[in-house]
A and B are shown apart, each in its own frame.
Chain A
């Protein structure tokens, strides 16, 4: 089973992503902020992280950077999703260590195809 961790403070968005990914056969876990994501990562290996930027307690950039620095799996693929990207969103996401940056609203098919590719289900 391919496991994806959806990190977003908005429950609506988490549910949406969960539905989308579960329909496609992914195992989905959720975290409501960067801290919780790190906590989950410490327990469970994931094949891909889908991370929002704006979150309380720990934002997406910090979270991804922490993953890239401290692991436990420093190489886990990360897609960062931002709402209505501001200037430099993509650069900031990539430099934090995201493999890909996407702007909301993300087309479901585009998101799915990227998740499939990057989580390795196509391999």
Chain B
């Protein structure tokens, strides 16, 4: 896959996750500004990314979602559950698309339809909350309301809407809009909004609403009907009429008014061409003579650069309020956009006899969709004329023709520098920066145009003092700057705060690194063997000692390395926890339960393998709590509990273990019911059931084939139960336990080792074979005379420090009957009577003594789980390779005992 697309896929997934978690946070606390920003940014970025790849359906959908969210952000719309649902649906859809893109690199064929359906739903949602009691007042509307007006997707008619009040829009605003349309491809829209007369009482703020229209270019607020006499006037009667021009398109404008009654709004696209006309009354135009003299020639010669310069210079001399001034300003705009139709018309307006022989139409041709890339797509003839010839193409640049920048574009950039300078006060701390930046760009632009730049410096100095005129002249070309003396103060402070540097690493590389370090830790174990051989087989004591010293050094380094890699592989529990708010929310809604999820210790870290392993079991446990644990609100209230149940999900570190608890305040488990069910299912006999204590009965839920409910729900009862949770957790060296009080709730507790990479095991010998016992379960090692072993029926036990410890003979447990080892015999020989060697291990039920032949030292090993056919042998948790090449079987005590 194209790396850029791959990047997009990965990143978008993160954004979607961010957005989802943010939405849930918002639903809980709508004032959470941070969450709002996060969601907004994530959606925004997703939209931006999809735009790069032309995934239009995705862009459209995100756009609509973002608009809706923006309304929420502006406080125009409450964020209710239904809306969150819809936004989550949107995220889900985009997630599916991302999956498809990852697979096929394109959106699925039905994407456009799916997008449209969701967009419609979102729009519908926007309309849903509209108060439809708006027909009370039928104040006369200036324009007859077209029946199909406020539909979100207006049919694009070339004529658009051209009400007579177009003329009321001042020159400058019309030009701004036209430039937006011609240069950026903006769609222009006119709207007329007349709120219902009772608008002030419905909590709406019509003015705020109108001001929120994106890229509002012009707005007029007028009384829709003449005001009444002061004494009879009702100040609370809304009589306002808003008329406006926006360059964000009719759809966007209409979307702002989605809550309003359709009757109150007319909003339609207006062609940019309809806005191109000179305003004002004809005035004294004697100054125009010079222009009028040269214009026909320049126009006929097609020298638009010169014509433009001439028009612009003239525009600064003629009042913009008179028709001629307006026409000149328009002429500049039309020339910039190379709209020859308008150029000709405007020249005619100015009284220039247009003699263009070229195929230009004398009348403006409405051109509904100007090319957004217009300035760059200007005909070659424009680029060929004017002083651009020596704007050198980039050295070695194959696309030299592209790099010869269009002079009109350069002018446009220069114009922006003026706007930038105009946007800052001279006493602003950033003013010097503005001036310096504008100066640099202006100089570069002038060089690109092949114009002298000696006037720039003085003009800039003036600009620094707030006088933009000389600079304006420079920008317009050909004018001379005004000399000045004082220089702009240079502000020099080193800025910047340090932030932590981080970068992404492929998880696989880290796994590989972890494996290597693990191998190293094990490989170093060969040193003690070597040392022993050196000493005993070869009799070189010194070498043996040196080897041991080196071993200690390498051992320490390897340990540090292991710690470092482990740290890298640690992930916060939040990785799993973040999925639960959504799960709880969705499921509780489906089951009509009210559940609050409380999460604690999300920052607790554990090895990423552990985190990965924990995901499934935890999900299952939380589902169980929602489905079986928490009762319906009615049942809860009947039991005197609050209607809303609580599920607590808490993680913490305890020694070498990470503990995760799922606790609910639901109905709890009924031990008697559990026993009955187990007997019904023939998992235990009636007699066995009667012997079980309540505490023991709870453990029945871990029995394979046990389900606490008759009806298999589609949530948690999917054929797997707590037995699967337990076996998964056990397989990775963890454990799960349950505590429950009837009527009060249930608590499930998972304990997992913090890391899986390297384990410290104790070697024990039985029947001539070596086995490993996880060191964390070893309590102590003792040797006792055989006579200390007491027999209780079939069972054996010893008393150790006043505690009775049951004994298990490991050779019997493993069904090994090899001869007693030499070591064992040797041990026995040193005592007066036969000895038992006991390894005391910790078990959930209490300590247990394992009778073995001998102990060996502790070993660092990488335990690999039993795989394939061996996986069914449950007495062992895995195998490990020893430094001398032997394979060590690591015991799974839980299963064995």
Contacts and interface: CB of A to CB of B under 8 A. Distances in A.
A13 B48 contact: yes
B430 A117 contact: no
Nearest to A85: B215
Contacts of B420: 94-95, 97-99
A55 B499 CA distance: 15
A24 B403 CA distance: 10
Contacts of B499: 33, 35-36, 39, 57
A120 B308 CA distance: 25
B494 interface: yes
Interface in A61-118: 65-72, 74-78, 83-88, 91, 94-101, 103-105, 107, 109-110, 112-114, 116-118
B434 A25 contact: no
Of B402, B443, B496, most buried by chain A (CB within 10 Å of CB) is B496
Interface string B388-422: 00011010110000110110011001001101100
Contacts of A74: 430, 432-433, 436-437, 490-492
B58 to A, nearest CB: 13
B353 interface: no
Interface string A4-15: 000001111101
A69 B410 CA distance: 26
A48 to B, nearest CB: 9
B885 interface: no
A99 B441 contact: yes
A93 to B, nearest CB: 9
A95 B434 CA distance: 9
Contacts of B41: 9, 54-56
B4 A97 contact: no
B360 interface: no
A2 B47 CA distance: 30
B438 interface: yes
Contacts, number: 204
Contact of B376 (A85, A101, A103, A109): A109
B495 interface: yes
A109 B402 contact: yes
A35 B498 CA distance: 8
Interface in B449-498: 490-498
B494 A42 contact: yes
Contacts of A113: 376, 402-403, 405-406, 409
A57 to B, nearest CB: 7
Nearest to B66: A84
Of A12, A25, A33, A110, most buried by chain B (CB within 10 Å of CB) is A12
Contacts of B394: 24-25, 116, 121-122
Interface residues of A, number: 66
B295 interface: no
Of B405, B423, B441, most buried by chain A (CB within 10 Å of CB) is B441
B424 interface: yes
A68 B495 contact: no
Contacts of A97: 420, 424, 430, 433-434, 437
A85 B402 CA distance: 26
B52 A105 contact: yes
Contact of B441 (A10, A57, A77): A77
B805 to A, nearest CB: 58
B440 A77 contact: yes
Contacts of B444: 77, 117-120, 122-123
A38 interface: yes
B102 interface: no
B824 to A, nearest CB: 64
B213 A87 contact: yes
B372 interface: yes
A77 B439 CA distance: 9
Given A10-B45, A104-B51, A118 B184 contact: no
B7 interface: yes
A19 interface: yes
Nearest to B453: A123
B849 interface: no
Nearest to B493: A70
Interface in B243-291: 248
Interface string B146-183: 00000000000000000000000000000000000000
Contacts of B445: 117-118
A80 to B, nearest CB: 11
A38 B495 contact: yes
A70 B494 contact: yes
B63 interface: yes
Given A87-B215, A107-B373, A113-B406, A75 B433 contact: yes
B7 A75 contact: no
B326 to A, nearest CB: 23
Contacts of B63: 84
Given A74-B490, A103-B184, A42 B405 contact: no
A101 B494 contact: no
Given A24-B394, A24-B397, A117 B448 contact: yes
Interface in B361-394: 372-373, 375-376, 391-392, 394
Nearest to B70: A86
Nearest to B419: A94
Contacts of B396: 25
B44 interface: yes
A76 to B, nearest CB: 7
A13 B437 contact: no
Nearest to A122: B448
Of B423, B491, B498, most buried by chain A (CB within 10 Å of CB) is B423
Contacts of B48: 10, 12-13, 83, 104-105
B413 A70 contact: no
Contacts of B40: 54
B216 interface: yes
B92 interface: no
B80 to A, nearest CB: 25
Contact of B7 (A15, A39, A87, A119): A15
A94 B405 contact: no
B99 interface: no
A54 B491 contact: no
A55 B38 CA distance: 10
B540 to A, nearest CB: 56
Contacts of A101: 416
B447 interface: yes
A84 B438 CA distance: 25
A12 B433 contact: no
B413 A117 contact: yes
A97 B424 CA distance: 8
A40 to B, nearest CB: 8
B193 interface: no
Contacts of B491: 69-71, 74
Interface of B: 3-4, 7-8, 11-12, 40-41, 44-45, 47-49, 51-52, 63, 66, 184, 213-216, 248, 372-373, 375-376, 391-392, 394, 396-397, 402-403, 405-406, 409-410, 413, 416-417, 419-420, 423-424, 429-430, 432-441, 443-445, 447-448, 490-499
The 3 closest A-B pairs by CB, nearest first: A68-B433, A75-B436, A70-B495
Given A25-B397, A75-B433, 6 more contacts: A15-B3, A24-B397, A55-B41, A98-B420, A105-B48, A117-B413
8 contacts: A25-B396, A39-B497, A42-B494, A54-B44, A77-B444, A85-B215, A103-B184, A117-B405
